[in-house]
Structure 1
Amino acid sequence: MSKFDAVIVGSGPNGLAAAITLQQHGLATLIVEGDGQIGGGMRTKELTLPGFKHDVCSAIHPMAMASPFLRKLPLADHGLGFVKPKYAAAHPLDSADTAFLHNSVEETAHGLGIDGKRYERLIRPVLKDWDALADAIMGPLRFPKKPIDLAAFGLRALQPATWIAERFQTPQAAALWAGMAAHGIQPLSNWSTSAIALVLSAVGNSFGWPVPVGGSQSIANGLSSYYQSIGGKIQVSTWVEDIASLPHHKVLILDLTPKQLLALKGLQFAEGYKRQLQNFRQGMGVFKIDWALSEKTPFLDLRCQEASTVHLGNTYAEIAAAEKASHLRKKVEKPFVLFAQQSAFDESRAPAGQHTGWAYCHVPNGSIDDYTEQIENQVERFAPGFRDTILAKHTYNTAELEHYNPNYVGGDINGGIMDIWQLYTRPVRSLTPYRTSIKDVYICSSSTPPGGGVHGMSGYHAAKTVLADHFGFK
């Protein structure tokens, strides 16, 4: 069998990022993937009808363009292209005009009327210092290059999203803020929930929320193509249950969550480390629907058809109540729904004149309840006649999502709740959370900082730790 400097188990964005980073430094690396197709959460399949290409998990990628790691790679040379819709996000309301996250802070602020200046004061400092802040925000705890700028960000980011929402005077600004914060998949009253709202808003105003041409699989394919072009090796359809089955290697990097780490045979973790993995807390799960549609979604405000993502949850109060109830393991009749129609911007996703639809809502972790009616009611609420456009549908409950991708424990797509206790101290309390208690075994999944999303930064930081620990690169 071949010998490798490093074997990486899992080909999600972080596994690919770790492998690429090591390969760029001249190491011999191998990615081992259990599925027959690389990508983890970046996969695109015909889930409903022939010719309708659906993103199985991730679909819209604000962090891909903002990631310091991904932005350095020549992925356009390897077939990856993005479309940037007119609006990053739209947020329709029952009794007020739609709020929009534009691709600039000025336009977004202008659309928020009397709250525009307040919004701009929140977001502009993040935009101005993004390149300096990004590496610190999207990494482990350490002394930052610009401590004053990061401290200013932190003072806002650590606040509960509810505190900032209550400062807005218009229902549009409060609702838009709530929708951004709800991407954190936890009650909006939790500490640090403003962090995700600040980042997603700033990234949208700077980079947009782009749609990958051909589907999310195109990101995985671009990363894979680049990785192999610099000498990396990939082995698919190889499910690892025991590390003894792997080829000889100096270092093992696992794109796995704590649950999978504990189940993997051949790893003799220290008892203290094992206890921390066992105590790692999962967040809410998601229920997801994909539709084959006869036409574009007939939103009452047709501008919503021009947005990467449409947040369907109405007011700040309604979204906050829904997220809290789901966190408390209650079934919500009017959940916060994230809706996308990628075919409106990428004609390759559906047959001519027809469309795809993609949506999910947050549900109690591990719930197997069917939320199809609740999600479709929310779409119909803001787009009357939507049900008449449905040709076919495909659903995933939390158990089915975990079966599809074991990293989605109980349907948790963030690799563990990202509250203040696990925002950076994930999966254990350590300044180098990518190390395990075994000196040549590392973890690089979304259960490490900075958490969920297609950005590759967890893999990048894990690889940098490996390079310093074992191969003399500081």
Structure 2
Amino acid sequence: MIGRATVVGAGPNGLSAAVLLARAGLEVTVLEATAHVGGASRSAELLGPGVVSDVGSAVHPFAAASPFFATLPLERHGLRWLHGRYPVGHPLDDGPAALLPGDLDEAVTALGRDGRAWRTLFTGPVRNWESLVPAVLGPLLRVPTAPLTLGGFGARAAWPSSVLTRTVFRGEPARALFAGMAAHALQPHDQPLTAAFGMLFGAAAHTTGWPVPAGGAGAITAALAAELAEHGGKVLLEHPVRTLGDLQAAGKADVTLLDLTPRQFLSVAGSSLPPRYAAQMRRWRYGAGAHKVDYLLDGPVPWRDPRLADAVTVHVGGTAAQVAAAEDDVAHGRHPDRPFVLVAQQDVADPGRAPGGQRVLWAYAHTPQGSSDPGTGERVDRQIERFAPGFRDRIVARVEAPPAVLERQNENLVGGDVGGGALTIRQQLFRPVVGLDPYSTPLAGTYLCSAATPPGGGVHGMCGVHAATRALTDLARRRRTG
């Protein structure tokens, strides 16, 4: 062994960091506070015995596209990606739903008068996908790995989503599809860079897809944990780290990686941090929350447009303008009467997640940070019912997880924020503090690797990969000079 490493947190980023360090020859121990591996990427029987529900993430476009995951034999550890007929659908009140096929040529045909504009917008990102993904899944403030690709992408990605949808598209189906994908930014659609999310999610739909893992989201982190074990690493469950003393008790480490957001890091490090650095950490802004509802249904969702039964993901929010209005309400602390709801029908691609012909439905609405509003779950029901009359009659069981419950399940989800921090322009450029090295901390040999570091939220492991790469570089330099 060339050294010892301690990683705090067994979510996708912590496990990815641990795997990279173990493959480099370090003796790696992962300390996980809960009784489960996975963080926000795990599955459980939330709705009863034999019913598989995803506790956090559900559909995984950027796990399928992750440059790091592609280097690992995760299939050998049981991970299988499954795709549906349509990556995403978007129901509308007036007329048929907008459906996005995975094939770009098919999508161009399906979008009719906006087909040519869709092709113009997405041909570049689709053609350059293999070089674009590594370029965007890293710090923005660095020498780009593919400057021409990134420059071409940025020409439209920098736009506000609302401007792009109005300017580029003429019909509501294309506008709504793009707005629904852009809503993954959890930012008002009049903000610059929100179009980047629509373009990335759209390009993913036409390349590596929006798949689900067979058997649930926990298959991703189970495969990572198995790969770690194969290289001698170990995960210690129910080992919370509350202070630096807890880390020291775990044994001396040459490098320590923390899959923690600024709030948890401040709590753990206490007065050990320099005042200026700690002050920047305290200024970190958490983003909009999520109010999650899991459903067990006695059959498929009765969508008004039956073609939506073949969409793995359904963005429920109405027109592009209605989606933008809901996101603007959330950003300003208001609870929209018609929230934007992300719905995952995982068993479209992965049948059998519930016994006896029942179906599992996963949904969450964007809600103000830390919301405790008791009516959000009912509004989620109503939004789905709006486009699927009779939906509520099909509910056998349902479980709500408002922001406070999500945070209790995973302390990194502060106020229900599933992205590790608001994706404002400042916090996209500087995550989590102002500087060119987002992963190192003032504590010697200690690095942050959570979604509060670049590239941010998503099950792709790249925050952990970049932090571990930095740690290995620093360790090698210390060995040379020490």
TM over 0.5: yes
Query: Are the equivalent residues in 2 in contact too, given 1:262–1:277 (CA < 8 A)?
Result: yes
Match status 1:269 vs 2:273: yes
Q: Quick one: which amino acid aligns to residue 253 of structure 1?
A: L
Runs of at least 4 residues of structure 1 off by over 6 A? none
Match of 1:57? 56
Match of 2:440? 435
> Using the alignment, how far apart are the partners of 1:301 and 1:222 within structure 2?
37
Query: Are the equivalent residues in 2 in contact too, given 1:47–1:54 (CA < 8 A)?
Result: yes
Q: Quick one: which amino acid aligns to residue 254 of structure 1?
A: L
What are the equivalent positions in structure 2 for 1:15-414 lying under 5 Å apart? 15-140=14-139, 141-167=141-167, 168-245=169-246, 246-265=250-269, 268-370=272-374, 371-414=376-419
Query: Are the equivalent residues in 2 in contact too, given 1:19–1:31 (CA < 8 A)?
Result: yes
Query: Are the equivalent residues in 2 in contact too, given 1:4–1:248 (CA < 8 A)?
Result: no
Other structure's SS at 1:248 match: coil
> Using the alignment, how far apart are the partners of 2:370 and 2:17 within structure 1?
29
> Using the alignment, how far apart are the partners of 2:236 and 2:258 within structure 1?
15
| 1:231 CA drift (Å) | 1.2
> Using the alignment, how far apart are the partners of 2:473 and 2:271 within structure 1?
22
C-alpha distance after superposition, 1:22-68 (max 9, x if no partner): 11111111111001110000111111222211101100001011111
Structure 1 residues without counterparts, runs of 5 or longer: none
Q: Quick one: which amino acid aligns to residue 339 of structure 1?
A: V
Query: Are the equivalent residues in 1 in contact too, given 2:180–2:323 (CA < 8 A)?
Result: yes
Other structure's SS at 2:362 match: strand
C-alpha distance after superposition, 1:268-311 (max 9, x if no partner): 11212111111111110010000111101111111111111001
Q: Between Structure 1 and Structure 2, how many residues are aligned?
A: 473
Other structure's SS at 2:272 match: coil
Query: Are the equivalent residues in 2 in contact too, given 1:424–1:448 (CA < 8 A)?
Result: no
| 1:243 CA drift (Å) | 2.3
> Using the alignment, how far apart are the partners of 1:233 and 1:304 within structure 2?
43
The 3 A distance-change label for structure 1 pair 204 and 267 is farther
Query: Are the equivalent residues in 2 in contact too, given 1:3–1:249 (CA < 8 A)?
Result: no
The 10-residue stretch of structure 1 (30-39 or 429-438) with the greater mean CA deviation from structure 2? 429-438
> Using the alignment, how far apart are the partners of 2:46 and 2:148 within structure 1?
48
| 1:4 CA drift (Å) | 5.8
Other structure's SS at 1:65 match: helix
The 10-residue stretch of structure 1 (239-248 or 444-453) with the greater mean CA deviation from structure 2? 239-248
Q: Quick one: which amino acid aligns to residue 418 of structure 1?
A: L
Query: Are the equivalent residues in 1 in contact too, given 2:2–2:26 (CA < 8 A)?
Result: no
> Using the alignment, how far apart are the partners of 1:264 and 1:145 within structure 2?
35
> Using the alignment, how far apart are the partners of 1:232 and 1:120 within structure 2?
46
> Using the alignment, how far apart are the partners of 2:24 and 2:184 within structure 1?
35
Other structure's SS at 2:430 match: coil
| 1:265 CA drift (Å) | 4.3
Q: Quick one: which amino acid aligns to residue 223 of structure 1?
A: L
Match status 1:423 vs 2:418: no
| 1:267 CA drift (Å) | 6.5
| 1:97 CA drift (Å) | 2.3
Other structure's SS at 1:338 match: strand
C-alpha distance after superposition, 1:2-35 (max 9, x if no partner): 9962100001110011011111111111111001
The 3 A distance-change label for structure 1 pair 3 and 73 is closer
Query: Are the equivalent residues in 1 in contact too, given 2:2–2:25 (CA < 8 A)?
Result: no
> Using the alignment, how far apart are the partners of 2:298 and 2:271 within structure 1?
51
Other structure's SS at 1:422 match: helix
* TM-score, structure 1 normalization: 0.97
> Using the alignment, how far apart are the partners of 1:57 and 1:114 within structure 2?
37
Query: Are the equivalent residues in 1 in contact too, given 2:312–2:348 (CA < 8 A)?
Result: no
Q: Quick one: which amino acid aligns to residue 450 of structure 2?
A: S
| 1:202 CA drift (Å) | 0.3
Other structure's SS at 1:206 match: coil
Q: Quick one: which amino acid aligns to residue 58 of structure 2?
A: A
The 10-residue stretch of structure 1 (415-424 or 251-260) with the greater mean CA deviation from structure 2? 415-424
Query: Are the equivalent residues in 2 in contact too, given 1:296–1:344 (CA < 8 A)?
Result: no
| 1:314 CA drift (Å) | 0.8
The 3 A distance-change label for structure 1 pair 355 and 267 is farther
Instruction: State, as a whole percentage, how many aligned pairs show the same letter.
Output: 42
> Using the alignment, how far apart are the partners of 1:266 and 1:235 within structure 2?
24
Q: Quick one: which amino acid aligns to residue 236 of structure 2?
A: Q
C-alpha distance after superposition, 1:233-275 (max 9, x if no partner): 1111111112222221111100000000001146611212111
* TM-score, structure 2 normalization: 0.96
Q: Quick one: which amino acid aligns to residue 282 of structure 1?
A: Y
The 10-residue stretch of structure 1 (180-189 or 100-109) with the greater mean CA deviation from structure 2? 100-109
Query: Are the equivalent residues in 2 in contact too, given 1:3–1:247 (CA < 8 A)?
Result: no
| 1:155 CA drift (Å) | 2.0
> Using the alignment, how far apart are the partners of 1:348 and 1:39 within structure 2?
22
Q: Quick one: which amino acid aligns to residue 81 of structure 2?
A: F
Query: Are the equivalent residues in 2 in contact too, given 1:87–1:208 (CA < 8 A)?
Result: no
Query: Are the equivalent residues in 2 in contact too, given 1:5–1:250 (CA < 8 A)?
Result: yes
Query: Are the equivalent residues in 1 in contact too, given 2:84–2:348 (CA < 8 A)?
Result: no
The 3 A distance-change label for structure 1 pair 419 and 107 is farther
Other structure's SS at 1:471 match: helix
The root-mean-square deviation of aligned C-alpha atoms, in Å, is 1.6
Query: Are the equivalent residues in 1 in contact too, given 2:64–2:81 (CA < 8 A)?
Result: no
> Using the alignment, how far apart are the partners of 1:424 and 1:234 within structure 2?
33
Structure 2 residues without counterparts, runs of 5 or longer: none
